[in-house]
Amino acid sequence: MKLNRREFLALTGKTAAGAVIFAACGLPERELIVQSPVDLPEDLVRGEDAWYATSMGDFTNGDGVLVRVMQGRAKKIEGNPDHPVNRGKATARYDSALQLLYHPDRISEPMLRYSKNGNLVEISWDQADTRFKEALSNANGALTVVTNPLRGTLGSVASKFAAQYGGKHMAFDPVEQGVLHGAVKSVFGQDQLPTFDISNAHTVLSFGADWLGTWGSPAGNGVKYGEFREGDRGYLIHAEPRMSVTSAAADLWLAPIPGTEGVLALGIARVIVGEELVSDANLSAFNAVLPDGLNGYGIVDVANRTGVSIGKIEKAARHFADHTPSVAIGGGSAGAHTNGTFNLGAIYALNVLVGAVDAKGGVTANPGSALKDIPASATGASFEAWEAELAQWRAGNVETVIIRSANIVHGMPNSVAIREALGHVPNVIAFGAVHDDTMDFADLVLPEQTFLEAWGTDIPEPGPGYQVVGTQQPVVGPTISQDESGLISDARGFGDTLLAMSDGSYGSSMEGLVKDSLSDLHSTGSGSVSASSTSLFANGALQRGGWWDTSTGALSNVGKVNTSAKDAGYSDAGSAGSGTEFHLVPFVSNSLGDGRLASTPWAQQTPDPISSASWSTWAEINSKRADELGIKEGDVLLIRSTSGEIEALAYPHPGIRPDVIGIPMGQGHHKSGRYAEDRGSNVLSILVDEKDTVTGALAWAATKVKVQRAGRRVKVPKFEGNVEARPIEPGVPVLVVGVDETAHDAQEANHHEYQKNFLLDGEGGDDHE
């Protein structure tokens, strides 16, 4: 067997030496050597840099990264070229996450509030441990551990810890609350989210999911998109009421009325079936997955219900069926309605219609976890479950709540009265790096290590179609302040703190659990790393950033679309006061996410890809509609729902439906460090408690609002200029010439009309500019 340099590396540890073989695994070969911290980075005082492989945990869906460290300080985060999810690519959010490590407002010591209305005062870790133990003892089973959705080792520890004390572990996510996972389970019969083989597809049809911007792994999806566009074979159709990054990249943009994405998907299916564009076998399989059939989804009716023109529906359907392999993707705002489960089910059923299930260029199932009792999938608990839980808090039935990486005060709508609920819990313990809104209601605040300082494993979701275990390791030690006066933060890992309070039956340290997991992987004798001993295997896996086995896989078990709730319902804005009624469509910020990176200045200053705005909350409104209402850029708008009111700066542009107003998530923190405090508005706070009928998840795109000018104007902080484009005479448009096409033919075809049609007719008619 011939091995190149990348496939054979000799790794030498402190006491042992041996060979570690890295299998190529079909991934691109790179001449890159990274390290594993046998010695802590602080011991490296030379003026040379070192690179360490790790995973980003809370800030991506499982991306692998390399961290550049010089003299013990992390300087830069890049994508790991070995990692099968993002394959060396990165996003601006990576470097923003780095700023949490050295944040000037990072929590330095444990803090205690002696009374609910008192101030937080610094205490020692010994005192904090004593308080923590008392809170656990007093709980007597009335305990809730609240975290962000956790996969990997930390997810296992959190769940086992809650169970040990007779409590429960609840995950909070303001956006993903089970609709996507439920639809995947219903249609494909899988607990893990599938992988979408965009790289090998000829047509991608996506609904709601901004997969090039914020959905899934944008870095990994970006790699696939580049391969998809090679040779001009790829054609992208995207359906979303506003122009996201994915909408802007689309060859055909469809902008349906919010909540009608499932109707649009079945209208496309009706055209395909009616014109007999698929095989009888595919049609039979589709009829089985959609027991109610396509009656009621005639093209005229669908066009009227969705606001998308007949011509565009037919064009999308024919291209999707004729230019295979094709894949349909659904998520984001398409699932954020009272009929979200139906919408996503109908969208994913299109894969069955074109034979894309478990096919190259289609949608492929992901296998379960390679590690016993380690979760490979996670999503937030439903809004309905949270309403029930908070009722228990308000009733005084929960003694202790432990919160980690879940800013529930910022992420919950006003309707649930989260502040009141926290006030009725005797012991609220919050972990974090920077003080957030939820910590204002915590009795004990504990500084937590960042992902750059802690041990862990992460299982990407969605994975690449085979088993992957990403490793997370400390790349720096305790961080010294710039003036060398002391530690920036005397932080501890969340997992290690829980294990120190446990009975020891499921581990004593996160480092030990990670190495035990790597030992289990070594015993399989398979995968991307081979070594003569467990210690060498562990070192090799840490050096590479994880372990993966391309020989593993899974098959879908096609089921049925849940059609119990087909029509979307919306909140009633009639009692929200004066103003013009709009559909409110919140969207995840490309830089701040749902707000978890708002404390970092790099995230705040990163311009939005569509508006180029930053450092603020703006409201996207259709240009023509803004003109009709006398709204100019920078006008302060009052946006009211029946749950509250926020302000946002008007940003008129043509890339949004005239009946929709789009507002980014992420701002509006009362506490989140000096860069985010009292900046912008929190759109999540005014969402009305509409829920998906099947899962009980928050229907966060089903709120209707009233909008009016506040009578003030503030310049929108953005990078884009305001110079109006004017035609220059004589103007000669660029002539786009296709393959085997003459200049005369191109002139007749009038290709330059394409861009006008793309923008001005985005929703099916020129009046939707």
Residue 269 sits in a domain whose CATH number is: 3.40.228.10
Strand order in the sheet with 73-79: 49-55, 64-70, 73-79
352 and 405 in a single domain? The answer is no
Q: Please give the pLDDT value at position 16.
A: 36
Structure tokens at 682: 């929190």
354 and 234 in a single domain? The answer is yes
Q: Please give the pLDDT value at position 576.
A: 86
Q: Please give the pLDDT value at position 480.
A: 73
How many whole angstroms separate alpha carbon 217 and alpha carbon 91? 10
385 and 531 in a single domain? The answer is yes
Q: Please give the pLDDT value at position 48.
A: 74
Q: Is 147 left (phi over 0), alpha (psi -120 to 50) or beta?
A: beta
The 3-class SS string of 195-231 reads EECHHHCCEEEEECCCCCCCCCCHHHHHHHHHHHCHH
Q: Please give the pLDDT value at position 60.
A: 85
439 and 510 in a single domain? The answer is yes
**DSSP letter, residue 766:** G
Angle between helices 280-289 and 261-274 (to 10 degrees): 150
Residue 339 backbone phi and psi in degrees, to 5: -110, 30
151 and 235 in a single domain? The answer is no
pLDDT value at 4 more than 60: no
Q: Please give the pLDDT value at position 28.
A: 38
Closest C-alpha among 686, 488, 688, 718 to residue 591: 718
Residue 412 domain-assigned (yes or no): yes
Residue 130 sits in a domain whose CATH number is: 3.40.50.740
Average pLDDT over residues 749-753: 56
595 and 658 in a single domain? The answer is yes
264 and 389 in a single domain? The answer is no
Q: Please give the pLDDT value at position 232.
A: 80
Q: In which band, very low, low, confident or very high, does the pLDDT at 487 lie, cut at 50, 70 and 90?
A: confident
pLDDT value at 503 more than 50: yes
201 and 169 in a single domain? The answer is no
pLDDT value at 633 more than 70: yes
Closest C-alpha among 469, 220, 455 to residue 368: 469
**Measured torsion, CA atoms of residues 137, 138, 141, 145, in degrees rounded to the nearest 10:** -80
Q: Are 763 and 308 in contact (CB under 8 A)?
A: yes
Average pLDDT over residues 484-506: 92
Residue 466 domain-assigned (yes or no): yes
242 and 138 in a single domain? The answer is no
Structural domain boundaries, residue 609: 580-713
Residue 16 domain-assigned (yes or no): no
455 and 356 in a single domain? The answer is no
Residue 262 domain-assigned (yes or no): yes
Angle between helices 261-274 and 310-322 (to 10 degrees): 60
Selected residue with higher pLDDT from 732 and 329: 329
Angle between helices 299-306 and 261-274 (to 10 degrees): 160
572-605: pLDDT as tens digits: 998 888 999 999 999 999 999 999 999 999 999 9
659-707: pLDDT as tens digits: 999 999 999 999 899 999 999 999 999 999 999 999 999 999 999 999 9
Residue 565 domain-assigned (yes or no): no
468 and 381 in a single domain? The answer is yes
261-293: pLDDT as tens digits: 999 999 999 999 999 999 999 999 999 999 889
Residue 702 sits in a domain whose CATH number is: 2.40.40.20
Residue 19 domain-assigned (yes or no): no
pLDDT value at 369 more than 80: yes
Q: Please give the pLDDT value at position 730.
A: 55
Task: Show which of 671, 696, 713 is a domain's final residue.
Answer: 713
Task: Show which of 549, 568, 594 is a domain's final residue.
Answer: 549
Q: Please give the pLDDT value at position 324.
A: 96
Q: How many domains does the chain have?
A: 3
532-543: pLDDT as tens digits: 999 999 999 999
Q: What mean pLDDT, rounded, does the chain reach?
A: 90
Query: What percent of the chain is helix, strand and coil (3-state, nearest 5)?
Result: 30, 20, 50
Q: Please give the pLDDT value at position 99.
A: 94
How many whole angstroms separate alpha carbon 588 and alpha carbon 595? 9
pLDDT value at 762 more than 80: no
Neighbours of 715 (CB within 10 A): 10
Residue 9 domain-assigned (yes or no): no
Residue 84 domain-assigned (yes or no): no
Name the residue with tokens 């999810």.
85
**Consecutive H or E run containing 408:** helix 408-411
Q: Please give the pLDDT value at position 21.
A: 62
Task: Show which of 693, 713, 733 is a domain's final residue.
Answer: 713
Q: Where are the alpha helices (DSSP H) in 256-404?
A: 261-274, 280-289, 299-306, 310-322, 340-353, 383-394
Q: Is 525 left (phi over 0), alpha (psi -120 to 50) or beta?
A: left
User: What's the gap between Cα 563 and its chain centre?
Assistant: 26
Average pLDDT over residues 427-439: 97
Average pLDDT over residues 411-422: 96
Average pLDDT over residues 8-12: 34
Burial class (CB in 10 A: 0-12, 13-18, 19+), 647: middle
> How does DSSP assign 20-66, residue by residue?
EEE--TTSPP-----B--SS-GGG--SS-EEEEEEE-GGGSSS-EEE
How many whole angstroms separate alpha carbon 362 and alpha carbon 196? 6
Go through 336-373 and write b for each residue having 16 or more CB atoms within 10 A of its CB, e for each that does not. Answer: bbbbbbbbbbbbbbbbbbbbbbbbebbbbbbbbbbbee
607 and 692 in a single domain? The answer is yes
Q: Are 487 and 478 in contact (CB under 8 A)?
A: yes
User: What's the gap between Cα 485 and its chain centre?
Assistant: 38
Query: What's the angle, vertex CA 273, arms to CA 272 and CA 277, rounded to 5?
Result: 55
